[in-house]
Amino acid sequence: MISVGIVGGTGYTGVELLRLLVSHPEVDLKMVTSRSEAGKPVADMYPNLRGFTDVCFSEPDAKTLGSCDLVFFATPNGTAMKLVPELLDQGTRVIDLAADFRLQDTDEWQQWYGMPHTCEDVLAKAVYGLPEINRDAVRNAKVVANPGCYPTAVGLGFLPLIENGLVDDQHLIADAKSGVSGAGRGANVASLLCEASESFKPYAVDGHRHLPEIRQTLGGIAGHSVGLTFVPHLVPMIRGIEATLYAVLKKTDVDLHTVYTERYKDEPFVDVLPKGAMPETRSVKGANVCRISVFQPQAGDTVVVSSVIDNLVKGAAGQAIQNMNIMFELEETAGLDRPALMP
């Protein structure tokens, strides 16, 4: 059994992590920290966990957390870097679901996150945890930077095209839409029911924090910097991301569906749909899967890819557990081999 701790278990990502971990066959959940809720049973805050765990929230303490084999950070950006060095010194491995170890350029980190990076030595050793491109590195990692939700949907959608040099990678477009849970559990007027319901809007068009992460991922695949226009939108649903991706093909006589099916045929959590099928966010709700369709409208030189994930699962907690399974040489699907929720 793997002894596991969670730092910051009160947000949507934290409770999704808890929901998946309490039924994982190889996990012993030792502690869940929250300064504001210390002493309160986790199941009192999240009644869906009644009967699954009797753990109470506790104060974050590096020495106690260091007794775990693995610690997940489901905390605001900038929190993990304060505790991770001490945990590593105690032999504890770490998966950070925030952005502390995603961007390798610390100047870029400060530009987008508004604070200096205080843990550059750890950052240099951190592995970006998108298993479909970094599985071998994740296996031996001490610190895994779990990808963001938009970067997961966009990265997996563009990956086969860029990897095979099939498109002009200087003019990529990602038109992405997310449910309201992506904004987190904190009180925010824009997330209120009366504000978000029956409405659909773009945001952060001039620059979203996930933009440099997506560029870094796609650039790593291409072997050089890519050009990307990324426009996120807020849609009136709780969970889910749909990313519609556009690129100009270098050749128009390629069987794109075969390119995608071949690339992902051995990936347990990427599902390339049959030709002509349209992905739906409801088909991935609660599941750790990315569903993809690829189109070439009117047999022209534009390729259109639709990629859907649950932002809280494959876009966060589920992918973190997928990384845990790889790190500890478990079946990659352990605790995650469940269908989506419908309706």
Neighbours of 308 (CB within 10 A): 28
What's phi and psi for 223, nearest 5 deg?
A: 85, 10
Of 56, 68, 119, 149, which one is the catalytic site residue? 149
Distances (CA, A) of 145 to 12, 73, 96, 280, 316: 18, 10, 5, 27, 11
Q: Is 56 a catalytic residue?
A: no
Catalytic residue numbers, as ranges: 149
